Structure formats: C-alpha cells, structure tokens
Chains A and B, each alone.
Chain A
Amino acid sequence: EADIYQTPRYLVIGTGKKITLECSQTMGHDKMYWYQQDPGMELHLIHYSYGVNSTEKGDLSSESTVSRIRTEHFPLTLESARPSHTSQYLCASSDEGTGANTGELFFGEGSRLTVL
C-alpha cells in the first residue's frame, strides 16, 4: 500500500474562498506531482517538483500554486476558488527512476473539490 496521503478527500466551498489541499508522503521521494482529473477523463499535470524549493508548472495551466518546503509535503493552494475549479485533484510521488525515465508513480486517493 502506498504511503501518500491527501486531505481533505471531499470539499464543498463557496466561490471566492481560499483553499489548500494537503499532500504528504512518507516514502522519501524527491519527485512529487499534482494532477487534475475530471470524472472519467484524462490526467492533466498541473504542477510538479523534483525536490525541496523546486516547483514547476505542468502542461495544463492552473490558477493554483504549490510549495515544497519539506520533502514529504507538497500542498496546493487556490487563493480564490471558482466553479471552474471543480474537479478531482490527485497528488503523486515517484522515486528517481532510471536515466530520464520517470519511476513508478504512487497516487494519493485524491481530493474532490466542488466550488458552488
């Protein structure tokens, strides 16, 4: 069983609220990722980090921000939530892999966000 945890699992909030989605892993992985996924749809990479104090934007533009102050912790923040942010947010981590290959991704159970 993967040791990566996300909270909250479900969140319903009103427009304009600030939210933080928490993600923690105990595997000591340097690489962490945030994906956005609508039900039954593909995975979109929105943020990634290859280590402490390293964060990059992913392939899908997102108004969210991330931080990586500790190896095990990779929170995602939305300063002002809007209905268009309604989605599932999946956090993942991976080991170094070999060469340029990404290692196996371990996913958290996801945070389902609904913005009214």
Chain B
Amino acid sequence: GQQVMQIPQYQHVQEGEDFTTYCNSSTTLSNIQWYKQRPGGHPVFLIQLVKSGEVKKQKRLTFQFGEAKKNSSLHITATQTTDVGTYFCAGNAGNNRKLIWGLGTSLAVNP
C-alpha cells in the first residue's frame, strides 16, 4: 500500500543547532502538508506544498518538495526550545482523497 516514511524518528539537539526531518513516499504525491504537535497538544497545520521542487520559508523553517514529488523536508535553523514537538508530514497520492501520514519526527531541544 501507499506509505510515507519519516526520518529520523527522534532527534535531540542543543539549542541553536539546526534540525532537519525527511519525508519519503513510495508513490508520487500531489501535495505535502506539514503539521506540528506540541507535547500534550494537537496537530497544527504549518504549510502545504504542491509544486515540484517548491521551497517555502516561514521564519526559521524551510520546507521543500522534491522534484519527483516523492519526498519532502523540513529544516529548522537555529532551533529554540519552542520548536519542541513532533513534526508530521502528510500527503495525497493520485486520486486518493485521504491523507497519507508519516509516523512523525519527535524533536527535543536542550537549552
């Protein structure tokens, strides 16, 4: 079946270090969405990418959609303790109107 893998599963960084999580799909995606879930909270939408090779930035966060639309990345520059949480990617494949979710990457930031 259609799968979306996310790596790494966990990441510990020192405050100020950079962080990247990768999302890899077994099939071509028509879009990719990224969500952040704080500990004890609910997922909150961050961004959606739809174009091949698209890059979008939100302050210290950079999102990229691969040329083949099978992978995506989220890069955080100079992490802060407020970045702590689990980052999920999700996308639609073909005519499947249900989102396929990655397993998430949990980020811990040491002050």
A45 / chain B contacts, CB cutoff of 8 Å:
98-99, 101
Tell me how far the C-beta of B106 lies from the nearest C-beta in chain A, rounded to whole angstroms.
Answer: 7
CB pair A107–B43 under 8 Å, yes or no, is yes
A43 / chain B contacts, CB cutoff of 8 Å:
43, 88, 101
CB pair B86–A48 under 8 Å, yes or no, is no
In the complex, how many residues of chain B place their beta carbon closer than 8 angstroms to a beta carbon of chain A? Answer: 25
In the complex, how many residues of chain A place their beta carbon closer than 8 angstroms to a beta carbon of chain B? Answer: 23
A40 / chain B contacts, CB cutoff of 8 Å:
86, 106
Tell me how far the C-beta of B86 lies from the nearest C-beta in chain A, rounded to whole angstroms.
Answer: 7
CB pair B43–A104 under 8 Å, yes or no, is no
Per the 8 Å Cβ criterion, residues 45-98 of B in contact with A are 45, 48, 50, 86, 88, 92, 94-98
Tell me how far the C-beta of A23 lies from the nearest C-beta in chain B, rounded to whole angstroms.
Answer: 12
Q: Does B31 contact A (CB under 8 A)?
A: yes
User: What CA separation (Å) do A59 and B87 show in the bound complex?
Assistant: 21
In the complex with contacts A40-B106, A42-B103, A48-B98, A105-B43 CB distance below 8 A: yes
User: What CA separation (Å) do A107 and B106 show in the bound complex?
Assistant: 19
CB pair B48–A100 under 8 Å, yes or no, is no
B97 / chain A contacts, CB cutoff of 8 Å:
50, 100, 102
User: What CA separation (Å) do A94 and B103 show in the bound complex?
Assistant: 21
Tell me how far the C-beta of A113 lies from the nearest C-beta in chain B, rounded to whole angstroms.
Answer: 15
CB pair A102–B44 under 8 Å, yes or no, is no
CB pair A106–B99 under 8 Å, yes or no, is no
Residues 23-58 of chain B, each 1 if its beta carbon lies under 8 Å from chain A, else 0: 000000011010100000111110010100000000
User: What CA separation (Å) do A43 and B89 show in the bound complex?
Assistant: 11
B103 / chain A contacts, CB cutoff of 8 Å:
41-42
CB pair A100–B94 under 8 Å, yes or no, is yes
Would you list the 10 A-B pairs with minimal beta carbon distance, nearest first? A107-B42, A101-B31, A42-B103, A104-B45, A100-B95, A102-B99, A101-B92, A107-B43, A43-B101, A110-B42
